[in-house]
Structure 1
Amino acid sequence: MDKVTKERISQLHPSVRAEVTRIIEEIDNALTGRAAVRISQGLRTFAEQDEIYAQGRSNPGKKVTNAKGGQSIHNYGLAVDIVLIIDGKTASWDTVKDWDNDKVADWYECVKIFAKYGWDWGGNWKTFKDLPHFEKKGYTWRGLLAKKRDKSNYVIL
C-alpha cells in the first residue's frame, strides 16, 4: 500500500478505516502483476464537492458528478475512488486489462474484493456509472446529512 493511499485512508470515517486497509491489502495480494491499487479520492469536504459539481455547469469541463455538497457519500468519509498504478508510475482506469495475466481483469478483482466487504460499486449504478467509485452499503446522503457530528466533525453512525 502506497503512502498516498495510507494518507487517504487516515481521513476516512473512523468506522471504515481498518476495513478499507484490509480491502486494499487484499487487493494488493490479489494483483500479482504490474498493477497496484491506489485510493485516488476519499473524504471530500462539502466545498470540494460543490467545486466538482460546478464542473461542466458553471465551470469549464465535463460533468463528473450529480452530487452537490452534502449529497455524496464521500462527504462523510464512507466512499473511495480508486485508480490502478501501473509499474509504480502510470495511472490507469482501464477496467478490462489483466496486468497479472490471471484471466480476470484487475479492475474486477478490485470490484469483487470491495463487494465481499459490503461495498457498492458505482459501475453497477443504473443512470450515472462511476467506475472508480465504491461506497459502504447501508448509507444515504440524506440520512447522513441529518446525523449529529462528533468533536472531529465525523457523523455519529
Structure 2
Amino acid sequence: MEGKLEVRILTNLFFFAVVVALVVFFLVPQVEKELPQGVFYKEDVPLPTNLHPTVEKRKDQLVEKVKGAGINIVITEGHRSVERQDKLYEQGRSSNGQIVTHARGGESYHNYGLAIDFALEHEDGRIIWDTEYDGNGNGRSDWLEIVKAAKGLGFEWGGDWENFKDYPHLQMDFGLSIRELKRGKRPEVDEYADEE
C-alpha cells in the first residue's frame, strides 16, 4: 500500500513538473509578445540605433577579407528598427511577398544592432542571393567562403539553424538571448572577441 502511494505521488509530481515546464517554455514567451513593453522587460533601456561596435568592426573585417579573395559581398542590412522588423514580418502574411522572417519587432538580433545580412554582387552588377555562385572562379561557392570567413570572425550563421534557415543572416549574440535583450540586458563593447 505504501509503495503504491509513493508511486502515485511521484507520478503526480512528474506530471505537475511537465505542466510547469510547458507553461514556462511555451505560454510565457507568447504572453510576453502580447503584453505592452515594460511588463516583462525594462522600459528605461533604449534600443540601439546602430550596430554594436564589435559587430560593426567584424563586418568591416569580413568585407575586406572576402574582397581580398575576389568576392563581391554586399551588406544588405545591419541594424533594423522595430518598425521595419514588423513590416518584414507582415511580408507574406498580411502583405504581398514571400515570408522572410519569423521574428516580430523586438525579437530579432537586428533590432539590437547584433546582426547583419549579406548578398553577392554578380559580375553584371545585379545583387544576388545565389548560394552556389562562384564569381571568383576558384571552384568554391562564394557564399560558403563568406560564411567560413564570418564564422572565423565570431559570427553565427543563420544557415546553421534547425527550424528556419536564414542563409543571408550573420549575428553575434554575445551569449544573450532575445528574452534577455528585451529585458534590457546589453552586451558590453569589449566583452566579445579578442583582437586579431
Calculate the TM-score normalised by the size of structure 1. Answer: 0.81
Instruction: Kindly indicate whether residue 192 of structure 2 is the aligned counterpart of residue 131 of structure 1.
Output: no
8 Å contact 1:147–1:156 — kept in the other structure?
no
Structure with greater Cα Rg: 2
Cα separation, partners in 2 of 1:122 and 1:37, compared to 1, 3 Å: same
Partner in structure 1 of residue 144 of structure 2: 108
- Residue 88 of structure 1, CA deviation: 6.3
The code of the aligned residue for 1:23 comes to L
Q: Which has the higher strand share?
A: 1
Query: Any idea what the Cα deviations from partners look like across 1:64-114, whole Å, max 9, x if unmatched?
Result: 111000000000111011010123621111111211121211111100000
* Structure 1 spans left out of the alignment, 5+ residues: 1-9, 149-154
Q: Which has the higher helix share?
A: 2
Correspondence 1:1-157 to 2 at 5 A: 11-30=50-69, 32=70, 35-87=71-123, 89-137=125-173, 138-147=175-184, 155=186, 157=188
8 Å contact 1:57–1:63 — kept in the other structure?
yes
3-state SS of paired residue (1:118): coil
Q: Distance in 2 between matches of 1:156 and 1:116?
A: 20
* Structure 2 spans left out of the alignment, 5+ residues: 1-48, 189-196
The number of equivalent residue pairs is 139
8 Å contact 2:156–2:172 — kept in the other structure?
yes
Q: Distance in 2 between matches of 1:88 and 1:61?
A: 25
3-state SS of paired residue (1:134): strand
Aligned-residue RMSD, C-alpha? 1.8
Partner in structure 1 of residue 17 of structure 2: none
- Residue 126 of structure 1, CA deviation: 1.0
Q: Distance in 1 between matches of 2:132 and 2:90?
A: 30
